[in-house]
Structures are given as C-alpha cells and as structure tokens.
Amino acid sequence: MILLGLGSNLSSSKFGTPVEILTQALAEMRLAGVEVAACSPWYRSAPVPTSDQPWFINGVARVETALAPSALLALLHRIEARLGRRRGVRWAARIIDLDLLAYGDLVMPGDSERELVLPHPRASERAFVVLPLNDVAPDWRHPVSGKNAAELWAELDQGQQIERLVP
C-alpha cells in the first residue's frame, strides 16, 4: 500500500484555495499514471511546529503505481513545482506539500537529510497524517512499529489541533 500526505496552507492566484490546490495535485497524479485509489476527507490543522502561519488543509491518499519510491517522490516534487511550490525555509507556509508517507512495508532508513526515508520519519507523530490515514487505510500497519492508525492515534499528543472539514 502506497500512502501520500497532502497539505497546503496558502492560496494561489492560479490554482485557488488550498482545497482546490490539493484537488489539482490529485488530478495531476492521475494524469501522470498514478491511480488514486482513495483520498481521505480534508482536515484543517494547526501548523506543526507551532507558528503564526495559516492553518493547513491536509489529507492522505492511497495510491497505486509501478513507479519506484524515488521516481514517485520525484514526480510529487514536479507536481509541487508546477503548482507553485518554492522550497526555502523548512516548515514555512507553502502552497503545496506532497509527502511519500509509506511504500508498502518498505523501510529505508536513509542517512542524510536529502535521502528518501520510508516510512516518513514524522508521520506517526502528526495528527494531520494519522487521522486522515485512518480514513483511507485503517488496517495499514506501520512497517517499523507494527501499529495501525487507531493505535498511532491513541498514542499521539492530543494537544495537536485538527478538525475535519465539512464538505
């Protein structure tokens, strides 16, 4: 099972609101041959780490592709760039953020900031990942801890602010 995290906390004059930007990212994935098998509802969440930037809109998608993990991540970065993402300061406000959360049960520890690490090293610590993950893959198990989304949620710092958007 391949899982992607999607987030946005800035609007774009070309692509619209964060929800519209994330919807466009999903459409671009489909155009590139990535099958979006399921997407969670959108959630509104406070920035992590805490800051004064706008709240994020987040979700998790379950996808299918023949692309290798590094090729999929490269595609996600190209989609981010097309939608206006400019990389700069870490954890800054951004138009789009696409993360490769998990690629099956593959574990890639990586040994530097630039290497792909799987599963995503902070995914299980963040409400904006764990809650929507439970919507699209409740039976998925973290390949290192062996815990499913409900178990990860139960262990999570409940001080993180998150709310499901009503469609």
Choice among 44, 62, 85, 126 that is catalytic: 85
94 is catalytic: yes
Counting the structural domains of the chain, the total is 1
The pLDDT tens digits for 114-131 are 689 999 998 999 999 999
pLDDT band at 51 (very low <50, low <70, confident <90, very high): confident
pLDDT at residue 86 in the model: 78
Least confident of 38-47, 63-72, 87-96, 141-150: 87-96
Find the domain containing 124 and state its range.
2-164
Residue 83 and residue 8 in contact, taking contact as beta carbons nearer than 8 Å: no
Instruction: Exactly one of 94, 105, 111, 164 is catalytic; name it.
Output: 94
Query: What is the CATH number for 113?
Result: 3.30.70.560
The catalytic position among 44, 62, 97, 126 is 97
Instruction: Give the number of other CB atoms < 10 A from CB of residue 92.
Output: 13
| 99 is an active site residue | yes
The answer for 123, left when phi > 0, alpha when psi is -120 to 50, beta otherwise, is alpha
Residues 6+ apart with CB under 8 A from 147: 124, 141, 155
